Amino acid sequence: MKIADLTFEVLIEAGSIAKRVDQLAQQLNTEYAGRTPIFIGVLNGSFLFVADLVKRMTIPCEVTFTKLASYYGGTSTTRKIREDIELSVDISGRHIIILEDIVDTGNTLSYLIEKLKTHAPASVQVCSLLLKPGKLESSIEELRYVGFEIENEFVVGYGLDYQELGRNLPDIYRQIS
Ligand code: IMP
């Protein structure tokens, strides 16, 4: 499959994503029972993951979004982080679960975790659908829930984009050339 100038092949099919999201939700339902967590989705890439995951939550929970980006439409990370949407909820004393589409260098996530901690939440954990362990620049203690570990490759689909294209694809694809 082609998106702009790049070629991709399927890496994770929609059915496998759905099964894994279901398992993550079950785990969160158990571990956060009685705590009414606040999910914070990191836009844009996490929108499908957030939608699918929270539909499977059976415990009381809140859902909100923030928008941070360290990639500007290319296939490799830039170090600058831009913040487009400020958090609109009071998180002090609350249990926070950050929902990410993918953790690559981890810079975006580390920035967000530090920022959230200044508002005195009761706890902060991260649930990321994808993780590239080989790219992670420093270990992130809060990254407790991971859907799939993948190689150091560029992926699109299920919310992830290449030059803003491909977010709508139900499967996850990897770049082959
Ligand atoms: P990090 O700060 O390097 O961990 O980058 C995290 C952000 O970069 C993610 O939230 C994505 O928006 C984007 N990103 C990282 N890897 C990929 C990829 O393979 N495809 C599409 N976007 C990616």
Determine whether the shortest distance from the Cβ of 172 to ligand 1 is under 6 A: no
Q: Which atom number of ligand 1 is nearest to the Cα of residue 105?
A: 3
Which among 78, 131, 76, 79 has a CA at the least distance from the CA of 101? 131
Position 74 scores a pLDDT of: 64
Cβ contacts of 166 within 8 Å, gap of 6 or more: 3, 8, 156, 157, 160, 173
Amino acid at residue number 90: D
pLDDT above 70 for 70: no
Which among 66, 14, 15, 19 has a CA at the least distance from the CA of 39? 66
Residue 123 vs residue 74, higher pLDDT:
123
Secondary structure of 9-50 as H, E, C letters: EEEECHHHHHHHHHHHHHHHHHHCCCCCCEEEEEECCCHHHH
pLDDT above 70 coverage of the chain, percent? 93
Report the distance separating Cα 133 and Cα 67, nearest Å.
23
Could you please state the CATH topology (level 3) that the domain comprising 17-149 is classified under.
Answer: Rossmann fold (3.40.50)
β-pairing, 123-131 vs 95-103, is: parallel
Q: Which atom number of ligand 1 is nearest to the Cα of residue 101?
A: 10
Q: How far is the CA of 33 from the centre of ligand 1 (A)?
A: 30
Average pLDDT score, the chain: 94
Report the distance separating Cα 89 and Cα 79, nearest Å.
27
Q: How far is the CA of 172 from the centre of ligand 1 (A)?
A: 14
Position 127 scores a pLDDT of: 98
Report the distance separating Cα 71 and Cα 56, nearest Å.
30
Instruction: Give residue limits of the domains in the chain.
Output: 17-149
Q: Is the pTM of this model over 0.85?
A: yes
Active-site residue identified among 5, 52, 90, 104 = 104
